[in-house]
Structure 1
Amino acid sequence: MSAPALADTPRPSALLLRRLAALFYDLWPVLALWMLVSGIFTLGYTLAGHASRENIHPFSALQWLLWFCCWLVAGLYATESWKRGGQTLGMRPWRLRLEALDGKPLRRSMLWKRYAVGTLSLLCGGLGFVWALFDRQRLTLHDRLSGTRLVKL
């Protein structure tokens, strides 16, 4: 019986600190996208004639719409980056890449599920990331539920 080829051995899953560092790097392009969306939103609000009377009230329907648009644009950034090369800008310097657990190509449905569950994980204080500390394969909750894994190159 021969030893498995080097290409057949799975890459190690990314450590939690490396994941968080990549997430911090990705914060910057996402903030730029949010500023762009907010600028367009504000321009539309101003051109509609509302800005001369009052600002957008906190927790109003317009405020929630703005937050949803920002979430959606950040999701497009992440899912399209993952779909194209398995990496966002923040994942490249940390040498991380997203793969499907079954080895098949990444599907948009699994990427959006990963993004949505990852968002909920962050809103819950990062509990889905802490999951990786106790998982045998070092997978986060959003890895498990979406059928993906982040590997170190």
Structure 2
Amino acid sequence: MSKKQPASATKNLLQVSLAPFWKRLAAWIYDLLGGLAVFILALSVGLLIAYLVTLPWAENGAAVSSALSNNPLWLIYILACVQYYYVWCWVKGGQTVGMRAWNLKICRPNGEHLSWKEAYIRSIASIGGLGTLWCLIDKEKRGLQDLSCDSRVIVLPKGYGKEQKPLI
């Protein structure tokens, strides 16, 4: 269940402009680094656990590495960790690290944060970032991921959110 923003915050968000393609692209590039960091962390934690569990009977690390690389659950675990990072950012604050750097925010048309369900739908629709190209031809500058969950990427006014808490 998502927390509703105060009416004044919603009113202010509705008066901002929609994000142009170049700002979305810049934020996406920043967010690739954030996703890569989560990927490396998930990989490290997963490998550590795998090595600790198999330590008594594994002769070398190659056996563990081979077992993980052939297991589809390993790939699902890594991708789910990266997906959860983006979903969590969108639900909790409407922004990822890259979006904060470029003063962008994802919200519903009424200014509220996305729900968990909407954020998961958006994350699936935005895999690869190709859906963002759709905003070049959409009159309302929405990408396919925005259309999938009825969200908007807006440009926040300068100075907005300077008093915000850090993401973590």
TM-score > 0.5 by shorter chain: yes
Distance verdict in 2 for CA 1:40–1:51, change over 3 Å: farther
4+ residue runs of structure 1 moved beyond 6 angstroms? none
One-letter identity of the residue aligned with 2:94: G
One-letter identity of the residue aligned with 2:77: C
Question: 1:126-147 CA deviation, whole Å, 9 max, x = no partner?
Answer: 4311111110101000100111
TM-score normalised according to structure 1 size = 0.80
Distance verdict in 2 for CA 1:90–1:9, change over 3 Å: closer
Aligned to 2:45: 40
Aligned to 1:145: 148
**Displacement of 1:35:** 1.1
Check conservation: 1:75, 1:115, Cα contact below 8 A.
yes
**Which residue among 111, 114, 123 is the counterpart of 2:122?**
114
What value does the CA root-mean-square deviation take over the aligned residues?
2.3
One-letter identity of the residue aligned with 1:18: K
Q: Map of 1:3-152 to 2, 5 A cutoff?
A: 7=12, 10-47=15-52, 48-49=54-55, 50=58, 52=60, 54=63, 55-56=65-66, 60-61=70-71, 64-119=72-127, 122=128, 126-152=129-155
Check conservation: 2:27, 2:98, Cα contact below 8 A.
yes
**Displacement of 1:67:** 2.3
Question: 1:17-44 CA deviation, whole Å, 9 max, x = no partner?
Answer: 1111111111222212111111122122
Supply the distance in 2 between the matched residues of 1:70 and 1:11 (Cα, whole angstroms): 36
Check conservation: 1:102, 1:147, Cα contact below 8 A.
no
Percentage identity across paired residues of the two chains = 27
Distance verdict in 2 for CA 1:36–1:149, change over 3 Å: same
**Structure 1 stretches lacking a partner, 5+ long:** 1-5
Q: Secondary structure at the match of 2:139?
A: coil
Supply the distance in 2 between the matched residues of 1:19 and 1:25 (Cα, whole angstroms): 10
Aligned length: 141
TM-score normalised according to structure 2 size = 0.73
Supply the distance in 2 between the matched residues of 1:128 and 1:99 (Cα, whole angstroms): 17
Supply the distance in 1 between the matched residues of 2:85 and 2:117 (Cα, whole angstroms): 15
Aligned to 1:3: none
Check conservation: 1:12, 1:151, Cα contact below 8 A.
yes
Supply the distance in 1 between the matched residues of 2:26 and 2:13 (Cα, whole angstroms): 28
